[in-house]
Amino acid sequence: MAESINEVKHRIASTKSTHQITTAMQMVSTAKLNRIQKHSVSYEQYVSRVKSVVMHLAQSHLLDNINSSSNADSGKAKKTAYLVITSDRGMVGSYNSNVIREANAFIEKNTPNPDDYMILAVGGNGADFYKNRNVNVAYEYRGVSDIPTFAEVREIVKTANSMYEDGVFDELYVCYTHFINRISSEFRAEKMLPMDSEAMNEGASKDVKTSKISAEYEVEPDKQAVLKSILPQYAQSLVFGAILDAKTSEHSASSSAMQSASDNAEDLISKLELQYNRARQAAITTEITEIVGGQEALKH
């Protein structure tokens, strides 16, 4: 019985230690979530202005027939790339499994032939998942900051655009988890390349509400110069927004997972303490019985 009591006592101490760790990790994740949400506010103002400009240009037909592709070749098979955003670490609940499952479903529906697509992975979990399954991972980026910077996104967008211009793929979709609130999120797959007028107008109008534009614009120095300035910012804003959104969802998932782990640890501690008290009471009762029995034996 003594050995059983010591074992339970050891489990209680171990579980309490785990509880302290998960509680600390929950506090860290919550702090990161609060920071990135504040950071997102200023970014949303910027991206709203960029999308507003893009939608005005699209509705004014300044973006008609634009195509940044230099690899148009009707004689070759179409190749699609999917930029899948996951986390680099674990302990984020079902965050990674959900985005990978939804991305796979979207890929299977949109590009059923494995030879017709490739993966651009942002985050170690996604990169490792596809590599382990022999999927073509053409590019991977690990170590995205807890609060992503625009400089990180420039590198990703520059690489993706170079691959597109070089004919490595013909279109690109960004797959990520959109943060709704601390208990809810949803999967999104948005087309980034090629930048055609219809897709850009549709993408911008998701977040920007304006009246229908019918006026014509005069641009200086010329249309190409304006597009050369605006379109890269639009592409960067899409990817940066997706990564920022995904990171917010990641921190929220991590906070929820650690909260759940802490709650489970508390429940287990309560059960173990009850088990320990019962075992200790049984041991004391046994000792008392043995003492009383010994005394009775001495009387005879």
Give the pLDDT confidence score for residue 232 in this predicted structure: 73
Residue, of 111 and 62, whose pLDDT is higher: 111
Is residue 287 classed exposed, middle or buried when 0-12, 13-18 and 19+ CB atoms within 10 A define those classes? exposed
Q: Which segment of 48-62, 67-81, 95-109 scores lowest on mean pLDDT?
A: 67-81
Terminal-to-terminal C-alpha distance of the chain: 30
Could you give the C-alpha distances from 30 to 24, 41, 263, in angstroms and in order?
A: 10, 17, 16
Under the banding of pLDDT at 50, 70 and 90, the label for residue 126 is very high
Q: 61 pLDDT exceeds 70?
A: no
Q: 101 pLDDT exceeds 90?
A: yes
Give the pLDDT confidence score for residue 213 in this predicted structure: 47
Domain-wise residue ranges, the chain: 27-256
SS3 readout for 101-167: HHHHHHHHHHCCCHHHEEEEEECHHHHHHHHHCCCCEEEEECCCCCCCCHHHHHHHHHHHHHHHHCC
- Which tens digits make up the pLDDT trace of 221-269? 766 776 767 777 777 788 888 899 899 999 999 999 999 999 999 999 9
Give the pLDDT confidence score for residue 66 in this predicted structure: 58
Give the pLDDT confidence score for residue 9 in this predicted structure: 86
Q: Which segment of 62-66, 80-84, 127-131, 250-254 scores lowest on mean pLDDT?
A: 62-66
Q: Which segment of 96-100, 101-105, 131-135, 219-223 scores lowest on mean pLDDT?
A: 219-223
Q: For residue 223, what are the contacts with CB-CB under 8 A and spacing of at least 6?
A: 62
Q: 211 pLDDT exceeds 50?
A: no
Average pLDDT over the chain, rounded to an integer = 81
**Fold of the domain spanning 27-256:** Pyruvate Kinase; Chain: A, domain 1 (3.40.1380)
Across the range 3-26, mean pLDDT stands at: 87
